[in-house]
């Protein structure tokens, strides 16, 4: 039982069962009529059946039609007409009944009967196009042209749908009676005053008329449609005007075309289709100047449309201002003011939108000051921007403060400029503002003020190592080496408290060493190198730099001897490296090798050996080069775990060094491993 329920029934099985259960339709009995008496009996019986059925359901038009068809088959047209007429008395609005009645008369070639019947039909149902078409087709096929024309005239007097008018025009064209066709179109456009109707007339004149008739129809169409204040037809009318102008350009009537566009644009200045078509026309047929003007106006309208939809699209504002400033000079100031009025960003944080908005203000300020030379207006704009628009409690723009200060300096108001920058630093201090203020005071040669600003700057942000270096370089340029050295010493000694990064500390030490070297204070420079190395002992490049420094700079004794031999104190020292310098450099290399050997940094140790060898190649003797060559490490490749090849170095110095100190780090690692094994 379950198997039968779960058994799936396929589509083939369903079709097979349906095929087996289908009912076989028995063929109808064929009646053979042998004589006239049997024919009359058959006709009487069928007529009785039809009449009986129609007494019960007289509204069944299909039965009436079948009854009439039966009489036609019996070649009794009189009875058939009687049945059709009886049916029309029941329902004269049933169109298939009229069509079957008319077709019956036509098949039987009773043309007059059909004509009378069609005349009755179009008078009874004048809005049924099918009856009109049947009447017209019959008369035209019989060659009754005058009757067809009168029928069309009668039909169009009822102001039917456009298809009747199109058929009337097509009939006149077939008869090659083009004047009558024009008369039909003249009435057609009055009944259906649509652009599509006028276009049909234009197409007709283009095919069968001449240039004057086409222009006359276009002109009449534009004048007629323009007189209707219908907004819904405005799009169609504009498309018709564009079509008219395109046709005029095809006839090489360029002035007419341009005049059409000018009149239309004056009437509908906001329609981009007209201006775009004019641009296309000027590109194709106009001169260079007119084409460029059209393109420029098109771009201007496009920008204006975008800005109306999105007034805070600052990129579009910038492009729009470029265009206006290049081609519409009288509108520049108004456009600049419009670009910054009532469209400031809504965000309370500094973002790209605020930056773009400020740049629009900068453009306005520079234009008012430099192009218009309106100082008071420019000052008022600066005050409005600084006092009311920028939310200084959340963020500020150093560029605006600096521009404001420079503006006042150009007007000779130096104290005002200092107040502006002081207000900026007091309200919302920024690194750029400090730097700009410092540059300003340096230009004014007010170095005491510069020192005070630097001090405030370092209090505000001591982590900026550039600030310390720039401050020291200022003192160096002013010739105050003690102040410069004090700034470097202060920064280096308080590096941990300040929190300099590793890169910042490297830069600070390098600049300090360069300063001492430039001042010929090589002893101080060496002290800084020692301190520098203590801070970064694991940097092999630092050791190499120190060694090369020793080989290229004099010691204290050499420096004193060189100074004694100087004729003039302003002369430069002419120093050449001696054996003493080579030995000092080798001492640095050896210190580096001992350090990396002690810490077991094999790669760094190998780097030192390479630099040491390069140094001996340049400065050492043959014995020295051979000695360092014997000490060079060997690169060994070993097969490690998981079949991974590993690289390591072997140092000849380690093989001959019996007093090698135990590697503390390896010792601790082994002790830790032994301890873990004991706990397990």
Q: What are the tens digits of pLDDT across the range 285-322?
A: 554 445 556 667 677 778 888 888 888 888 888 888 88
Q: At a CB cut-off of 8 Å and minimum separation 6, what does 521 contact?
A: none
Do residue 479 and residue 584 come from a single domain?
no
Residues 607 and 660 grouped into a single domain:
yes
Rounded CA separation 424/182 (Å): 82
Average pLDDT over residues 426-452: 88
Instruction: Give the list of residues 6+ apart from residue 113 with CB closer than 8 angstroms, or none.
Output: 81, 105
For residues 556 and 468, state if they share a domain: no
pLDDT of residue 503: 82
Count of beta carbons in the 10 Å neighbourhood of residue 5: 6
pLDDT on residue 365: 92
Give the span between the Cα atoms of 163 and 43, in whole angstroms: 46
Place of tokens 């192009």: 371
Whether residue 393 is predicted with pLDDT greater than 60 in this model: the reply is: yes
Question: Does 36 have pLDDT greater than 60?
Answer: yes
pLDDT in tens, 621-653: 888 788 888 888 887 777 656 656 677 777 887
Percent share of the chain, pLDDT over 70: 82
- Please tell me whether residues 665 and 555 are part of one structural domain: yes
User: Could you tell me which residues are beta bridge partners of residue 647?
Assistant: 637
| C-alpha distances in Å from residue 318, one per residue of 129, 184, 325, 341, 537 | 62, 58, 10, 14, 55
pLDDT tens per residue, range 8-33 = 677 777 777 777 666 555 555 555 66
pLDDT of residue 661: 47
Between CA 72 and CA 24 the distance in angstroms is 33
Does the residue 475 lie in any domain? yes
Number of domains within the chain: 2
Residue 678 belongs to some domain of the structure = yes
Instruction: Establish if 124 belongs to a structural domain.
Output: no
Question: 659 with 593, same domain?
Answer: yes
What mean pLDDT comes out for the span 404-429?
Answer: 89
User: Looking at the structure, do residues 604 and 532 belong to the same domain, yes or no?
Assistant: no
Contact 515, 476 (CB under 8 A): yes
Does residue 582 lie in a domain region? yes
Residue 165 within any structural domain of the chain = no
Q: Which domain holds residue 508?
A: 462-536
Which range among 106-115, 272-281, 497-506, 516-525 shows the weakest confidence by mean pLDDT?
A: 272-281
Res 523 pLDDT > 50: yes
Judgement on whether residues 581 and 668 belong to the same structural domain of the protein: yes
Residue 154: CB atoms within 10 A of its CB come to 13
Judge whether residue 95 has pLDDT over 60.
Answer: yes
Shared-domain flag, residues 615 and 590: yes
Output the pLDDT for position 509.
81
Q: Which helix (H) or strand (E) holds 650?
A: strand 645-650
Q: Residue 22 phi/psi, 5° resolution?
A: -65, 150
b/e map of 227-240 (b: 16 or more CB within 10 Å)? Answer: eeeeeebbebbbeb
Within 8 A by CB and 6+ apart from 561, the residues are: none
* 116, part of any domain: no
> Which range has the worst mean pLDDT, 16-20, 342-346, 378-382, 467-471?
16-20
Residues 552 and 668 in one domain: yes
pTM score: 0.51
Same domain, 559 and 656: yes
In a domain, 658, yes or no: yes
Closest residue by Cα to residue 348 from 391, 310, 386: 391
pLDDT tens digits, one per residue of 64-80? 888 888 888 888 888 88
Mean pLDDT for 57-62 is 84
CB contact set of 205 (below 8 Å; sequence gap of 6+): 213, 214, 217
> Does residue 328 have a pLDDT over 70?
yes
Q: What is the pLDDT of residues 535-592, one digit of tens each?
A: 777 788 888 887 877 777 776 666 666 666 665 555 555 666 677 778 887 888 888 8
Asked if pLDDT for residue 149 goes beyond 60, the answer is: yes
Enumerate residues 6+ apart whose C-beta is below 8 A from 257: 245, 246, 248, 249, 281, 285
CB 425, CB 398: distance < 8 Å: no
Of 154-163, 234-243, 464-473, the least confident: 234-243
Whether residues 586 and 654 fall in one domain: yes
Do 598 and 501 reside in the same domain of the chain?
no
Question: Does residue 628 lie within any of the structural domains?
Answer: yes
């Amino acid at each position: 039982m379950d198997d039968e329920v779960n058994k799936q029934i396929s589509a083939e099985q369903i079709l097979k069962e349906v095929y087996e259960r289908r009912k076989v339709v028995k063929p109808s009995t064929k009646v053979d009529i042998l004589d006239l008496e049997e024919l009359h009996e058959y006709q009487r019986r069928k007529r009785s059946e039809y009449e009986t059925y129609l007494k019960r359901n007289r509204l069944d038009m299909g039965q009436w039609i079948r009854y009439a068809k039966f009489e036609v088959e019996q070649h009794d047209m009189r009875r058939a007409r009687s049945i059709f007429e009886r049916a029309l008395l029941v329902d004269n609005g049933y169109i298939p009944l009229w069509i079957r009645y008319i077709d019956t008369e036509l098949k039987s070639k009773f043309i007059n009967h059909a004509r009378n019947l069609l005349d009755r039909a179009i008078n009874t149902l004048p809005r049924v196009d099918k009856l009109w078409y049947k009447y017209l087709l019959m008369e035209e096929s019989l060659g009754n042209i005058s009757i067809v024309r009168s029928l069309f005239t009668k039909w169009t007097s009822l102001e039917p749908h456009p298809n009747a008018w199109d058929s009337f025009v097509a009939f006149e064209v077939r008869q090659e009676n083009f004047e009558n066709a024009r008369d039909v179109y003249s009435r057609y456009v009055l009944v259906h005053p649509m652009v599509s109707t006028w276009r049909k007339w234009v197409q007709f004149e283009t095919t069968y008329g001449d240039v004057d008739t086409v222009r006359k129809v276009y002109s009449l169409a534009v004048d007629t449609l323009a007189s209707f204040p219908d907004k819904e037809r405005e799009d169609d009318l504009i498309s018709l005007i564009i079509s008219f102008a395109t046709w005029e350009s095809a006839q090489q009537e360029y002035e007419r075309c341009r005049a059409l566009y000018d009149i239309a644009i004056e009437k509908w200045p906001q329609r981009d289709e007209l201006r775009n078509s004019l641009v296309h026309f000027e590109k194709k047929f106009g001169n260079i100047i007119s084409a460029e003007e059209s393109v420029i106006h098109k771009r201007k309208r496009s920008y204006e449309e975008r800005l109306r939809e999105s007034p805070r699209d600052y990129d579009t504002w910038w492009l729009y201002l470029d265009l206006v400033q290049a081609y519409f000079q009288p509108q520049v100031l108004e456009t600049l003011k419009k670009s910054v009025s009532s469209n400031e960003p809504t965000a309370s944080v500094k973002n790209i939108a605020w930056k773009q908005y400020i740049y629009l203000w900068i453009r306005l300020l520079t234009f008012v000051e430099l192009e218009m030379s309106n100082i008071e207006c420019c000052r008022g704009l600066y005050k409005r921007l600084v006092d009311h628009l920028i939310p200084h409690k959340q963020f500020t723009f150093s560029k605006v403060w600096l521009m404001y200060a420079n503006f006042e300096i150009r007007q000779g108001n130096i104290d005002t400029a200092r107040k502006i920058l002081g207000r900026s630093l007091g309200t919302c201090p920024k690194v750029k503002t400090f730097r700009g203020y410092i540059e300003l005071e340096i230009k004014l040669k007010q170095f005491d003020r510069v020192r005070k600003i630097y001090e405030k700057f370092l209090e505000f942000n001591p982590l900026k190592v550039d600030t310390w270096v720039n401050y020291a370089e200022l003192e160096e340029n002013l010739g105050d080496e003690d102040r410069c050295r004090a700034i470097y010493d202060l920064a280096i000694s308080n590096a941990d408290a300040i929190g300099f990064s590793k890169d910042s500390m490297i830069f600070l030490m390098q600049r300090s060493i360069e300063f001492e070297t430039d001042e010929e204070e090589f002893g101080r420079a060496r002290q800084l190198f020692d301190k520098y190395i203590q801070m970064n002992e694991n940097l092999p490049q630092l050791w190499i730099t120190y060694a090369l420094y020793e080989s290229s700079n004099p010691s204290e004794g050499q420096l004193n001897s060189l100074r004694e031999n100087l004729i003039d104190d302003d002369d430069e020292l002419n120093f050449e490296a001696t054996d003493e310098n080579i030995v000092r450099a080798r001492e640095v290399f050896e210190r580096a090798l001992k350090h990396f050997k002690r810490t077991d940094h094999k790669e760094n140790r190998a780097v030192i050996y390479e630099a040491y060898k390069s140094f001996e190649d340049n400065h050492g003797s043959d014995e020295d080069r051979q000695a360092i060559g014997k000490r060079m490490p060997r690169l060994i490749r070993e097969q490690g775990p998981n079949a991974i090849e590993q690289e390591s170095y072997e140092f000849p110095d380690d093989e001959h060094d019996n007093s090698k100190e135990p590697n503390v780090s390896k010792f601790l690692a082994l002790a830790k491993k032994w301890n873990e094994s004991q706990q397990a």
